[in-house]
Structure 1
Amino acid sequence: MSPRHTPMTEAEYTIPRNHDSDSPHVKKANISTTKGGYLVYGTAHMHTGVVNTTLYGQDGRVLCTSKPKYGTGKEPGNENGYLIGMSVCYPKPGSIKIKDDEILTLESIYKNKFRTGAFLYLLGRSNTEQRFEYLM
C-alpha cells in the first residue's frame, strides 16, 4: 500500500468471509503520512460484522478507536443486528501529534461471518498553519 500520494483511498480493503471459523478477522495496514500535524477527528467507515477499528502511532500509542453501535429493534434506523452507527474521536486540540513521515498502523477487527470492506477517515491540522487537511 502506498497511500502517501492518494489520501484515504488506499486504506480500503475487503474482509474475506469464512463461515468455518469463529476467530475474528484481524487486518493491519501500515500507512505513511507525508506531513504531520494534530489529529482533530477520526472515525472508521464500518459495515455490519465489525468489532472495532483502531489507529496506532508509530510508537504503538492508540490514536483513535472507532467502535460500532448495533441496532436492537425493528424500527427503521435501529434494525436488530445491523450496524447503525460508529463512535468518533475528537481529541483535545493539540493533544495527539502525528509527526512528518510517521508510519501509522490501521487495525480492523471483523467477525468472520461477513464479507465486507473497511475504511478510515482522518482529519488533522498542520503544525504551523490554521488550516485543516487530511493527514493520509
Structure 2
Amino acid sequence: MKIKLTTLLLLFISTSLFAQDGWKTFEKDNYSISYPSDWEFSDQNPQPTVAFMLNSPKESQKEDLFRESVNLTIEELSMADYTLDQYTEIALEQVKKQIPSAKMITALPANIGDVEATNIVWSAEVGNGMVL
C-alpha cells in the first residue's frame, strides 16, 4: 500500500546546516532527520497523523516569543479521491483558514525514501508581532 507523506516544516536554525557537530539523528522506517542536539524530540503523537515533533530550546523564544518547531505529518491517501498536489492545496487552505496571516514560503515536491511528499514551509504573524 503506497503511503504519501506531506511534511509541514517550519525551520529557523541559526546554526549552519553544514556543521553537523553535536547533532542527533532520528531514523524510522524509510526516513531520517538530523537536528541540533539542544532541540527537543517527541514522538508522542498530539494528533494521529503527526509522526514526530522537534522544538527549539525554550530559551530561543526569549527574543521573538516563539519557539520554532518541525513536524512530520503522515496521512494515508491511497484510498483518497485526490492527488498529492490537490491534498497540498487543501492543507495550505486549512493553514490559511486557521491562521489568516499565513504566507506560504515554499511548497516543493520531495521524496522520503520512495514515497512522494511535499515539503511545505510557511510563516505567519500572530498577535504582538510574533512570527510563526
User: Same fold, TM exceeding 0.5?
Assistant: no
Which of the pair has the greater relative contact order for Cα pairs under 8 Å at 6+ separation? 1
TM-score after normalising by structure 2: 0.29
TM-score after normalising by structure 1: 0.29
